[in-house]
Amino acid sequence: MPATSGHAARPEASGPTGEPFLEVDRASVQYGSTKVLSELSLGVMRGEFVALLGSSGCGKTTLLRTIAGFMMPTSGSIRVGGRDVTRQPPDRRGMALVFQSYALWPHMTVARNIGYGLKLRGKPRQEIAARVAEMQALLGLEGLGERKPAELSGGQRQRVALGRALAISPDILLLDEPLSNLDARIRLTVRHEISALQKRLGITAIHVTHDREEAMVMADRIVILNAGRIAQIGTPQEVYNRPSSSFVAAFMGAENVVPLLVEAGGERLRIAAGPVNRAAAIPAEGRRLGGRVVEARFRSEAAELHSATAFPKEKATEDALVLDGVVMQASYPGGVWRHVVKIGEATIVVDSSHAFASGEAVSVKVPAEALFLFDATDCKEGEEELR
């Protein structure tokens, strides 16, 4: 049985209404016999910041390069402002791409790198100089115009690459994991700088990343890709709090998973007692479940860890799922204690403000609002496990 959304259905492209500025219409891209993108459709509004999020090989960079014109779709089309640009070269699309490696000319100064695109377009020298000075002021690069890329920090090189892209006044700014080469501290600063700059300029931006937090803090909407298809589109709050599938829930951090037997009816779902869980009743809240065996997912920080005696076994819990387990390991990553808990044959991770001893019997409480339920992918196998 295919996995079904654990919550009420939402439109695939929730967000701003109206005609999209950038349209990807049923685009497919194929390498030999391997289809990398499969009839993918996406609309981006003018001035919107959209993040393409997914693991390696999901198709996010292929989609970005297809939008940019560096790859041709085997079918489908790309439109910008209603104009079909599918077969047009990159320099005719009104876009600029910031590469992961920055791709700066090592023999050129900062000023010449920033002005390179304008020089290719045959702009007058005075106009180029004025625009370069404007970009340097905008990006905090004043006084660095005569330096070479090798004399700059990683954050400064990233700003130079961004300045080169913005200097040509593109309609759409494309960002191909431009922060991945920066260390963690600088990355936090630069991501906020790019986001603030995009909003200040009102530019349309599409940003490829595999970093969930980066997408969450920078984007107006997130497009989660899986195997060349869109798994979900929504605001950061939507994809985090209302994942449409087990895959999206796991990708957004709900990696703990346990099988349950559930009876749907009316406004509440009744969870039958099983080998690893107490009986429970939780609000249905639009969860649509087609089968009796479900997959429950939750995040480590959303669960509570208690002594095994905290919840009477004979009494069903209300508005929460309670699991029985044993602590296998406790570690301190900072701020909380992280516990690996054995639940039946599986293990889950639960955070707590204080440490529980290895080998200690515990109960894991997951509030209903933090619980994501989806139809199990194999009902027969799942039901056998729960008997």
| Domain range for 292 | 256-386
Tokens of 210: 């595999």
Q: Are 240 and 337 part of one and the same domain?
A: no
Q: Note whether 97 and 125 are same-domain residues.
A: yes
Indicate the residue among 246, 270, 304 that finishes a domain. Answer: 246
Q: Is the pLDDT of residue 1 over 60?
A: no
Domain match, 233 and 340 both: no
Contacts of 127 (CB under 8 A, 6+ apart): 118
Would you say 376 and 6 are in contact if contact means Cβ atoms under 8 Å apart?
Answer: no
Q: Give the pLDDT of residue 236.
A: 97
**57 within domain boundaries:** yes
Interval 309-318: pLDDT, tens: 888 777 788 9
The residue type at 281: A
Same-domain pairing of 94 and 139? yes
pLDDT tens figures, 163-206? 999 999 999 999 998 888 777 777 888 888 889 889 988 999 99
Is residue 381 included in any domain, yes or no? Answer: yes
* Tokens representing residue 240 in the block: 């985090």
Binned at pLDDT 50, 70 and 90, residue 8 comes out as: very low
Examine residue 56 and state whether it is found in any structural domain, yes or no: yes
End-to-end CA distance of the chain: 19
Comparing 32-41, 98-107, 212-221, 282-291, the range with the smallest average pLDDT is 282-291
Please tell me whether residues 178 and 78 are part of one structural domain: yes
Q: Report the range of poorest mean pLDDT among 1-5, 86-90, 193-197.
A: 1-5
Residue 185 maps to a domain: yes
Name the band, by pLDDT with cuts 50, 70 and 90, for residue 4.
Answer: very low
Q: What percent of the chain has a predicted confidence (pLDDT) above 90? A: 73
Tokens of 380: 């027969």
* Residue found by looking up tokens 């905008």 in the block: 138
Shared domain check, 308 and 189: no
The predicted structure's pLDDT at residue 16: 59
Same domain for 285 and 152: no
Q: Are residues 82 and 207 both part of a single domain?
A: yes
Last residue of a domain, one of 186, 218, 246: 246
Instruction: Please identify, among 205, 224, 246, the residue that sits at the C-terminal boundary of a domain.
Output: 246
The rounded distance, in Å, linking the Cα atoms of 4 and 20 is: 29
| Burial class of residue 158 (count of CB atoms within 10 Å of its CB; 0-12, 13-18, 19+) | buried
Considering the domain architecture, whether residues 42 and 70 belong to the same structural domain is answered as yes
pLDDT digits (tens, 9 = 90+) for 132-175: 999 999 888 999 999 999 999 888 898 899 999 999 999 999 99
Q: Where does the pLDDT of residue 386 fall: very low under 50, low under 70, confident under 90, or very high at 90 and above? A: low
pTM of the model: 0.86
pLDDT at 371: 95
Average pLDDT over residues 89-109: 91
For position 322, which CATH number holds?
A: 2.40.50.140
pLDDT digits 0-9 by tens, 123-132: 999 999 999 9
| 301 in any annotated domain | yes
Mean pLDDT to the nearest integer, 72-88: 96
Number of domains composing the chain: 2
For 231-281, what is each residue's pLDDT tens digit? 999 999 999 999 999 999 999 999 999 999 998 777 889 999 999 999 999
Whether residue 17 has pLDDT greater than 70: no
How much is the pLDDT for 59?
Answer: 94
Same domain, 63 and 158: yes
pLDDT for 14 beyond 90: no
* 303-349: pLDDT as tens digits: 999 999 888 777 788 999 999 999 999 999 999 999 999 999 999 99
Does 16 fall in a domain?
Answer: no
Residue 98 has pLDDT above 60, yes or no: yes
- The mean predicted confidence, pLDDT, of the chain is 89
Q: pLDDT higher for 81 or 291?
A: 81
| 26 and 56 assigned to the same domain | yes
Calculate what percentage of the chain has a pLDDT beyond 70. 93
Q: Does residue 3 carry a pLDDT above 50?
A: no
Look up the CATH number of the domain holding residue 129.
3.40.50.300
Q: Do residues 238 and 282 both lie within one domain?
A: no
For tokens 């940019």, what's the residue? Answer: 68
- Is 354 part of a structural domain of the chain? yes
Q: What is the mean pLDDT of residues 110-116?
A: 95
pLDDT of the residue at 180: 81
Asked if the model's pLDDT at residue 375 lies above 60, the reply is yes
Q: Is the pLDDT of residue 26 over 90?
A: yes
Instruction: Tell me, yes or no, whether 17 lies in a domain.
Output: no
